[in-house]
Amino acid sequence: MTRTYRIGQIVPSSNTTMETEIPAMLRLRETIRPQRFTFHSSRMRMKKVVKEELAAMDAESDRCALELSDARVDVLGYACLVAIMAMGHGYHRVSQARLTQRTAENGGQTPVLTSAGALVDALRVIGAKRVIVVAPYMKPLTELVVDYIRHEGYEVIDYRALEIPDNLDVGRHDPARLPDIVKSMPFEQADAIVLSACVQMPSLPAVAKVEAMTGKPVITAAIATTYAMLRELDLEPIVPGAGALLSGAY
């Protein structure tokens, strides 16, 4: 019998991308593997990507974890990278432990991962030490994200802050612009490219092009989250056309 897995996501209320890119990748996987997936979300209020709104939003994540554990999802992803990274070094571990505890208290213990933790773990999986980073945030928040990645043991040799304050506008950013942004960066010196350090900035359509253009593995927050979810479910982390991390090589 083909097993169907329930994928839970805690998303910012203005996020339109994680419920697009994660299902897109897992639907692609369904074309080559027997497992099937359904998708379930709970929302935390957030419109502007600023530290104050992010902190207020993160406080709602406990409620979201409870709601999703009511549905007995098989894995739960906290789909906002910057909200976690803006809360201080290593906060993804604190958040994951607390939200897992909330699901356990509700009688439906569920493995919880965060897109922030998934991204830094993905760089470890592919053996990257030196990276370049593209992010849509205003410069101060981008610097917080870069600092968080550095604190996890990576050298960020260059980054681009696209300075888009409104989260809906982040979701409207054309991924076709990403290859030219990477071209302006010293990607030759990097082990890997973080093409979107944000779960709201669409990037999936540009991943194959940037990998072909640079010869470097490309990671995005959405790709890293998909990899982490598949590993948590003890499924082969392979998705056709979704970059090196999901190629089956890892």
Give the integer Cα–Cα distance in Å for 81 and 78: 8
133 among annotated binding-site residues: no
15 among annotated binding-site residues: yes
Contact 215, 223 (CB under 8 A): no
The DSSP annotation for 137-149 comes to: S-HHHHHHHHHHH
The DSSP annotation for 73-112 comes to: -SEEEE--HHHHHTT-TTHHHHHHHHHHHHHHHTT----E
Provide the residue type at 153 as one letter: G
How remote is the C-alpha of 244 from its chain's centroid?
15
Helix (H) and strand (E) counts for the chain?
A: 11, 8
80 among annotated binding-site residues: yes
245 among annotated binding-site residues: no
81 among annotated binding-site residues: yes
199 among annotated binding-site residues: yes
Residues labelled as active-site residues: 80, 198
Binding residues for substrate: 15, 80-82, 137, 167, 199-200
Summarize the annotated binding site as residue ranges. Answer: 15, 80-82, 137, 167, 199-200
